[in-house]
Structure 1
C-alpha cells in the first residue's frame, strides 16, 4: 500500500519509473528488431551464397543426356560434396510463392531448421520441373573444394578462353560476387599456396575487415593457364551488426524513447497549462475560477491549493466588503453622538452641563476604541493563519478565571460553573482560548435573564467548552447567522444590550484555527442559548493548520452566512 501511495503522490517517481520502463521496453524492442532483421538477413545470405554453387550442380545434371549418366554424375557429386544430392519432382514439395519465384529465376531456396541446425537447399534444374535438393548441417572446406570442381567442370563445356571469360562473367551474377581470371603474380601468394595451386588444390585467402569494410574470403583455383588462376570472390562473411543496422536501430530507439518521454511529460504539461490558464483568469479578476484536480500527486496538490487559495481570496474580499459596510455603519452612531455632544458643549455655559456632555463624549470615544480593537482582532484572525503558541492548558483553571472575570463585571447575573477534573488538559493557545470563553460568557451575560452556566471537559479525546444562558434563546433558522460580522438578529434588543456583533465572529475564526467545531443549540438545563466549541485534545504538529476537510466545511459555512447576511 505504501508503494502505491508513493506512486500516486510522487510525480517525479512516476516519471523516473516510466522513463526506466520506456528504456527497458525500447531495449527489448530493439533486441527483437535486430534479431528479426538478422534472421531475414542470414536467410538472404544463405540463399545468396547457395545460389551460385547449386546453379553449377544443376547445370552439371542438365548436361547429362541419359538417366545412367545423370545417376553417375549425382553420385560422384554427392561423394565430392560430402552430402547426398537428390532430384525430386517440383510438385512434390510444398512451396511458398516467394520460393516458387526464386526457383523460376534459377535461384536457390534454403529452408533452415533451428532445432536440428540443418539447412535443406532446393535448386530447379534448368528446363525441367524437377528440383535438386540436399541437406547439410555446416559448410566445410570439403564443400568449398567441391564447388571449385563443379566450376571447372562447368567451364570444360566452353573450349575457348574468351568463352570461359564470358561464362565466368555470367556466373558472377549467379554467385553475386565476382569470378574472374587473374595472373598468379598479382595475388600475393606465398610459396606454399603457389605449390598447393600447382597441385590443383583450392587456396583460401582471408582478408580481415575494418570498421567500414567487412571481412571477406576468396577462393583461388588453378586454371588451364599456368600463369593465371580463377579467383572466386571476395565473398563477404556475414556481419551480425553492420554499421547501417546499428545506426538504424539507434535512431528508431531514440525516436521511441522520445515518444515515450513525450507521453510521460505531455499529461503533466497539459495539467500545468490548465493551471497557468487558471492563474491568468484569476489575474484578470475572475475569482470563480477553479482548475481540475486529477490524481493525488504534487500537481494535484498544487491545483487543490490553487482552488483553495482563490476561494479564500474571494471569501476575504467579500468579507472585507461586508466588514467595510458594517464598520461604516457602526461608526456613524458614536460619531454622530460625539458631533451632537460637541455642538451641545458649545452651546452650554453651565459647568455641570458641560461636564455631562464631556462624559458622553468620553464614553463614545471609549466605545470607538472598543470597536476598533474588535475590528483589528477580527481582521487579524481573518487575514491568515495567526501565530499560535500551543501548550497544554488546564481547563479547570481557565473556567475559574472566567468565573472571576465575569463576576467582576458587577452585573446582576448569577454565574455557575462546572469545573472539570484538574487533570483535564488540552492543547490550545491559552490567550485565544481565553478569548473564546470570555466572548461567549460576555454574550451570554447580555442576553441572560438571571443565570449563565460555564462548562468544560474532555470526552474521548475531544476537549470542549460550553456557555449557556436562560434568555430567550436563538431560533434554529438564525443560529448560523450569529457568527456573521455585525449581524443583528434583533436590532433593538442588541443595541440595548450593547456589543457590535463581532464577538461571535471572532470566536468562529479562533475555532477555525483550532480545528474546532462551533455548535449552537438550546440549553437543556437553562432553556436559553448554548454555545459549544469542541477541538482535538492533541493537535498535529507544533504549528497546526486546519486540515482540508475543516477548511472546506468552514468555507461553506462562511459563504452561507455571507449569502444570508446579504
Structure 2
C-alpha cells in the first residue's frame, strides 16, 4: 500500500481504472433509465393507434349490448381480453389524464409478469375506459391491426384516404394506400392477396441503418381497386440504437476527460510549482523553495529541488568563506616565507641561514597542511567523498587513536571507557579515525590535565565521546565551532594552533555517515564534551539515501 501511495503511475492508473468503472456504471444506469422510458414511449406509441381505432368502432355500435358483443368478437380474434373498466377504479396521474383526454392510450406494463394494460377513452362513454390486456404479441395481433383499420374505413366510403390522414396522428408509422405493383412482392405473396381479400401479409426487413429491423403489414381492400393498405414500415424496438449509443459514448468520453483532468490537474499544479521555482533559481533567486505536498514522486522532486538549492547556497557561501579564509590564512605563512627569504639574502652567517631555512621549511609544511585541510573540507562540502564502507570493531579504532596520541599528550592524562571487542560498526574506517583524532587533538590542546575517551552502540546508534576538563565552550558559540575557519575569541585562540577546519570537517563526515555531531558541557570533567552519533549498521534505505544525496550534491 505504501508503494501505491507514493507511485504517481499507480495512483493515476488506479484512478483511471476506478474512473472507467464509475463511468461505465453510470453509463449503464443512464442507458437502463433511458431505455425504460423509451420502451414505455414505444409501447404507448404502438398502442395509440390500435386503441383509438377500437374505441372508434365501439363508439359507433348502436347499443351497449352490441358494443359488448363486438368487443367479445374482437377479443376472441385478437386472443386478447377487452373490457370496459369504470373510471372511478382507475387511478391516473396528471400526465395520464392528459393523454386520455386527447384520445391517446396509456400503457401500464408489469415487468415481472410481462403483461401490459392498455387504457383509452371511448366517445359517448364517460364513466368507463376501454381496457385491453396484452399478455402476448404474435403475428395474429399484428395482422389484426390493418383489419381493424379497414373495419373503421367501412364507415367512410369514398373518403378512405382522408380518413387515413385523420388516423395518422395516432400511429407512429405510415398508413397509406399503395399500388400493388410498387411493393415488389413475390408471386406467392401476390397470389395470397389476390385469392383472399381478407388476407394480411407481413414483410420483414432487416437493414444496417439506424432504423434497424422493420415490419410492414399489407392488406387487400376491395373498396379501392388495385390498391392495398400498407402499414409501416413499423420499427422493432431497438434497445441500443445508434443515436443512444453515440450519445452515451460521447457522454462517457466527456466524463473521462473531466476525470482525467481532475487526476492530472494536481500533478500539473505541482510540476508548475517546480517549474516556477526553477525559473526563479535561474534568475538568481536561490532563496526560492518548493512547497512540498504529499509523498509521491513529484513531492520527492520538490524535496530534492529544495535540497539542491540549499546545497548550492551552502556551496556558494562556503566558496566565498573559503576564498576569504584561505586568502587570510595563506598571508601569514607566505609573509613568513618572504621574510625568511629576505633574511637569507641579508645574512652570511651559516648558522643563521640554517635556522632561517628550517623556519621556511616549517612554513612550507604549514602551507601543505593547510592545503590538505582545505582539500579535505572542500571534498566533503561538495558532497563527493569516496566512502569505503566496512564492518569493524569500534574498540580497535579508539585504541589506535589513543596509541597515536601517546607521543603528543605530554603531561596530560587520557582516560578511556572503551566498548567490548564484539561491538561492531559499519562505516568508513578512515573518516571515523579522522573524527576521533580531531576530537582528542582538540581536547588535549584545550584541557587542563585530563581527557576522557569513550564509545559504544546504544539503540542501534553508534557513538564516540571525547571530554576534557578545560574551560569548555559557551553555549552561544557551540554551533559556531563547526563552521569553517571559525575560532572563538576566549579560550580557543589562534595561538593554540590549527586553521579552524577540523570541526567543520567532522561535521561533514557526520553528515555523510547519516549521523550528527554535538558539543555540550561534560558532566564528569566540566569542560567541553564532543559527541558524534551515527547508525551502527547501515540499512538499505539509508544506503539508497546516501547514494541519492551524492547524486544531488554532485549536480
Partners of 2:461 and 2:155 lie apart in 1 by: 112
- Contact 1:197–1:203 (8 Å) recurs in 2: no
Give the drift of 1:271.
0.8
After superposition, the Cα gap between the structure-2 partners of 1:192 and 1:274, relative to the gap in structure 1 and judged at 3 Å, is closer
Please give the secondary structure, in 1, of the residue aligned with 2:199.
coil
Return 220-229 or 390-399, whichever deviates more: 220-229
- Contact 2:147–2:219 (8 Å) recurs in 1: no
Q: Which residue of 1 aligns with 2:162?
A: 166
Q: Which residue of 2 aligns with 1:485?
A: 484
Partners of 1:297 and 1:493 lie apart in 2 by: 47
- Contact 1:221–1:230 (8 Å) recurs in 2: yes
Give the drift of 1:197.
5.7
Alignment counterpart, residue 171 of structure 2, candidates 175, 182, 187: 175
Q: Which residue of 1 aligns with 2:421?
A: 422
Q: Which residue of 2 aligns with 1:562?
A: none
Return 126-135 or 241-250, whichever deviates more: 126-135
Alignment counterpart, residue 198 of structure 1, candidates 177, 195, 200: 195
After superposition, the Cα gap between the structure-2 partners of 1:75 and 1:63, relative to the gap in structure 1 and judged at 3 Å, is same
Please give the secondary structure, in 2, of the residue aligned with 1:407.
coil
Q: Which residue of 2 aligns with 1:42?
A: 39
- Contact 1:483–1:508 (8 Å) recurs in 2: yes
Q: Which residue of 1 aligns with 2:553?
A: none
- Contact 2:418–2:455 (8 Å) recurs in 1: yes
Deviation per residue, 1:361-384 (Å, 9 max, x gap): 222222122111111111111111
After superposition, the Cα gap between the structure-2 partners of 1:138 and 1:293, relative to the gap in structure 1 and judged at 3 Å, is same
Please give the secondary structure, in 2, of the residue aligned with 1:544.
helix
Q: Which residue of 2 aligns with 1:138?
A: 136
Mapping of residues 227-238 of structure 1, within 5 Å: 227-238=226-237
Partners of 1:523 and 1:235 lie apart in 2 by: 102
Please give the secondary structure, in 2, of the residue aligned with 1:534.
strand
- Contact 1:122–1:134 (8 Å) recurs in 2: yes
Return 285-294 or 477-486, whichever deviates more: 477-486
Is 1:25 the counterpart of 2:6? The answer is: no
Give the drift of 1:108.
1.7
Give the drift of 1:545.
6.6
Q: Which residue of 1 aligns with 2:294?
A: 295
Structure 1 length-normalised TM: 0.89
Partners of 1:90 and 1:113 lie apart in 2 by: 21
Return 141-150 or 237-246, whichever deviates more: 141-150
Give the drift of 1:419.
4.4
Q: Which residue of 2 aligns with 1:539?
A: 538
Return 235-244 or 171-180, whichever deviates more: 171-180
Q: Which residue of 2 aligns with 1:115?
A: 112
Q: Which residue of 2 aligns with 1:149?
A: 147
Please give the secondary structure, in 2, of the residue aligned with 1:423.
coil
Structure 2 length-normalised TM: 0.90
Mapping of residues 15-414 of structure 1, within 5 Å: 15-88=12-85, 90=87, 92-126=89-123, 129=126, 130-160=128-158, 163-187=159-183, 188-191=185-188, 194-195=191-192, 198-199=195-196, 200-224=198-222, 227-409=226-408, 411-414=410-413
Please give the secondary structure, in 2, of the residue aligned with 1:289.
coil
- Give the unaligned 5+ runs of structure 1: 552-566
Partners of 1:416 and 1:492 lie apart in 2 by: 23
Please give the secondary structure, in 1, of the residue aligned with 2:319.
helix
Return 216-225 or 299-308, whichever deviates more: 216-225
Q: How many residues align?
A: 545
- Give the unaligned 5+ runs of structure 2: 551-555
Partners of 2:542 and 2:97 lie apart in 1 by: 84
Is 1:442 the counterpart of 2:438? The answer is: no
Partners of 2:217 and 2:77 lie apart in 1 by: 17
Q: CA RMSD in A?
A: 2.7
Return 70-79 or 434-443, whichever deviates more: 70-79
After superposition, the Cα gap between the structure-2 partners of 1:44 and 1:337, relative to the gap in structure 1 and judged at 3 Å, is same
After superposition, the Cα gap between the structure-2 partners of 1:192 and 1:299, relative to the gap in structure 1 and judged at 3 Å, is closer
After superposition, the Cα gap between the structure-2 partners of 1:467 and 1:65, relative to the gap in structure 1 and judged at 3 Å, is same
After superposition, the Cα gap between the structure-2 partners of 1:500 and 1:153, relative to the gap in structure 1 and judged at 3 Å, is same
Deviation per residue, 1:61-109 (Å, 9 max, x gap): 2212333333333333333333332334556533333323322332222
